[in-house]
Amino acid sequence: MTLDRADALAQDAADPLASFAAQFHHPFDDLGRRLVYLCGHSLGLQPKSAAQYVEQEMQDWQRLGVLGHHVATRPWIRYHEQAAAPLAALVGAHESEVVAMNSLTVNLHLMMVSFFRPDSRRNRVLIEKSAFPSDRYAVVSQLVSHGLNAAEHLIEIEPRPGERILRTEDVIDRIEQEGAALALVLLPGVQYLTGQSLDLAPMMDAARRAGAATGLDLAHGIGNTPLNLHDWNADFGVWCSYKYLNAGPGAIGGCFVHERHARSIELPRFAGWWGHDPAVRFQMGPDFHPIPGAQGWQISNPPVLSAAPLLASLEIFQRAGIRRLREKSLALTGYLQRLIEAHLPGQVDVITPSAAPERGCQLSLRIARPPAAAKRCHELLTAAGVVADWREPDVLRIAPVPLYNSYSDVFAAVDALSLALRR
Ligand SMILES: Cc1ncc(COP(=O)(O)O)c(C=O)c1O
C-alpha cells in the first residue's frame, strides 16, 4: 500500500461523506491559510448553519418578545425537546431518556444527588485514576457533602504497572472485590487522555450485579463512538456538546436517565420548575410533580441561544448517520495510525489501543523525546498550521473527525509531525 499524498487524495475522492466538510467553517491562520484542524475532541468546528439557527432566535425575539415562547419558529417553551430524538439516536436511548440541559459537571452533580445515595455500608465511589479532573472534584465534593472522604471512600482504578490502558477484566475484578461497599461506579465512554473506548457493557453489568449505581461521562463518546446506553443499563450518563457535537464553546450539555427511573418520584433530586409537569407548570402550584423521564431533572428553562447551534449540528448528524460516520472514522483513524507507523517508526508511541472497537477518532501519542523536546514538537506542529493539543504530562492528542476531516488532513498532519521531529 502506498502512503503518499496522492493516495490520500484518492481516498478523499472515494469518501461518500466528503461533502460534509463543506458544511463547517474551517479556521484559517493570519496569512489566510486553512489550518489542518484535528482538535474536535476539544472543540468541534462551527457548522455553517449554526449562525442561521442563532439568527432565527434573535429575529424571533426581536419580532415577538415574550410571545416567542409559544409562536417562535421553534417555540422556546419546547426548544430543548427538539434535541431529544437526535440525541437519543446518538446515545442509543429512548427519547424520554435524554434531555439537553446545563453543562456536563452540573449534570453530573444533579445525577449524583439522585443516584449516589450512600449508607453506612455501601458508601464508596469507583472512578478511574486518570478521570477528567472535574469529575474527580465533583465526586469528592459529593462525598464530603455526605460526611465521607476521598481517602476512605474513593476508589481509583488505574492500568497495570507499565501499562497505559485499563483492562476490562481488571475493572470488573475491582468492582467485584468492592462488592457491597460500592455505591456508584462512574466511568468514561472514551477516556479523554488515552482515547481508549471502554467496553462498557460488561462493566455496567458487573456494577449492577454488585448493587452499585452506574454513571457514564460521555464527553468524548457522544458523536464519536456508537453508544447503547439503554441496553447497557447505565443509571445515568452526562455529556457536553462542544466537542464532537460541534455546538460551540460552553454549549448546553446533556443527560441520560434510564427509563426504569422515569417515574421514580421517591428519588431525591434538586428540583426546578422546568422539570415540573408542563401541563400544570403555569398554574404556579407549590408542589413539584416531575415530568416522567430525563426531562424531570431539568431545573431552569433552556438557554435558547446556546442550544441553537446544537440543533444545527444535530441536523447534520441526522443526515450523515452515526453508523456511516463511525465507518469513516475507523478508516480515517486507521489511516493515521498506519502513516505514523510507516513514517515515524520508533519516534512516536501510540498509547490509544490499536483495535478498532477500543478507540474512537482520537489517537494519543507519546513522543519519544525528553519532555521539553516532546512539547516543542507540539509547538512546531501548531506553527506549521496543524491544530492538535497537548495534555500534561506527555500526551499529544490528534483527532481526525469524520464529519469534517479528510485523508489529506491526516496526511498533512503526519507530514508536519515528521518535519517537527526532524528539527
Ligand atoms: C471527560 C470530560 N469530563 C468533564 C468535562 C467538563 O465539562 P464541563 O466544563 O462542560 O462541565 C470535560 C471537559 O472537557 C471532559 O473532557
Say if residues 135 and 128 touch (Cβ distance below 8 Å): no
How far does residue 240's CA lie from ligand 1's centre (Å)? 7
Write down the pLDDT at residue 368. Answer: 86
Residue 296 CA neighbour count, 13 Å, CB half? 22
Write down the pLDDT at residue 115. Answer: 98
SS (H, E, C) the chain: CCCCHHHHHHHHHCCCCHHHHHHEECCECCCCCECEECECCCCCCEECCHHHHHHHHHHHHHHHHHHHHHHCCCCHHHHHHHHHHHHHHHHCCCHHHEEECCCHHHHHHHHHHHHCCCCCCCCEEEEECCCCHHHHHHHHHHHHHCCCCHHHHEEEECCCCCCCCCCHHHHHHHHHHHHHHEEEEEEECECCCCCEECCHHHHHHHHHHCCCEEEEECCCCCCCCCCCHHHHCCCEEEECCCCCCCCCCCCCCEEEECHHHCCCCCCCCCCCHHHECCCCHHHCCCCCCECCCHHHHCCCCCCHHHHHHHHHHHHHHHHHCHHHHHHHHHHHHHHHHHHHHHHCCCCEEECCCCCHHHECCCEEEEECCCHHHHHHHHHHHHHCCEECEEECCCEEEEECCCCCCCHHHHHHHHHHHHHHHHC
210/291 Cα distance (integer angstroms): 30
273/204 Cα distance (integer angstroms): 32
How far does residue 220's CA lie from ligand 1's centre (Å)? 9
Ligand 1 atom showing the smallest separation from residue 250 Cα:
10
Write down the pLDDT at residue 2. Answer: 62
How far does residue 280's CA lie from ligand 1's centre (Å)? 35
CA-nearest of 254, 215, 246, 242 to 89 is 254
106/371 Cα distance (integer angstroms): 35
Write down the pLDDT at residue 170. Answer: 98
CB within 6 Å of ligand 1 — which residues? 103-105, 132, 134-135, 188, 192, 217, 219-220, 240, 253
Say if residues 60 and 73 touch (Cβ distance below 8 Å): yes
Write down the pLDDT at residue 291. Answer: 97
How far does residue 107's CA lie from ligand 1's centre (Å)? 11
pLDDT (tens, 9 = 90+) of the chain, 423 residues, equals 567 999 999 999 999 999 999 999 999 999 999 999 999 999 999 999 999 999 999 999 999 999 999 999 999 999 999 999 999 999 999 999 999 999 999 999 999 999 999 999 999 999 999 999 999 999 999 999 999 999 999 999 999 999 999 999 999 999 999 999 999 999 999 999 999 999 999 999 999 999 999 999 999 999 999 999 999 999 999 999 999 999 999 999 999 999 999 999 999 999 999 999 999 999 999 999 999 999 999 999 999 999 999 999 999 999 999 999 999 999 999 999 999 999 999 999 999 999 999 999 999 999 988 888 889 999 999 999 999 999 888 899 999 999 999 999 999 999 999 999 988
Say if residues 124 and 135 touch (Cβ distance below 8 Å): no
| pTM value > 0.85 | yes
CA-nearest of 184, 172, 104 to 143 is 184
How far does residue 262's CA lie from ligand 1's centre (Å)? 26
Length of the chain: 423
38/312 Cα distance (integer angstroms): 21
Ligand 1 atom showing the smallest separation from residue 192 Cα:
1
Going by alpha carbons, the residue nearest to atom 8 of ligand 1 is: 104
How far does residue 242's CA lie from ligand 1's centre (Å)? 10
Contact residues for 309 (Cβ-Cβ < 8 A; gap 6+): 46, 47, 50, 53, 54, 246, 247, 248, 251
All 3 cell numbers of residue 380? 512546531
All 3 cell numbers of residue 367? 513522543
Going by alpha carbons, the residue nearest to atom 10 of ligand 1 is: 104
Ligand 1 atom showing the smallest separation from residue 240 Cα:
10
Ligand 1 atom showing the smallest separation from residue 243 Cα:
14
Say if residues 232 and 198 touch (Cβ distance below 8 Å): no
Backbone angles phi, psi at 2, to 5 degrees: -85, 145
Backbone angles phi, psi at 9, to 5 degrees: -65, -40
103/107 Cα distance (integer angstroms): 6
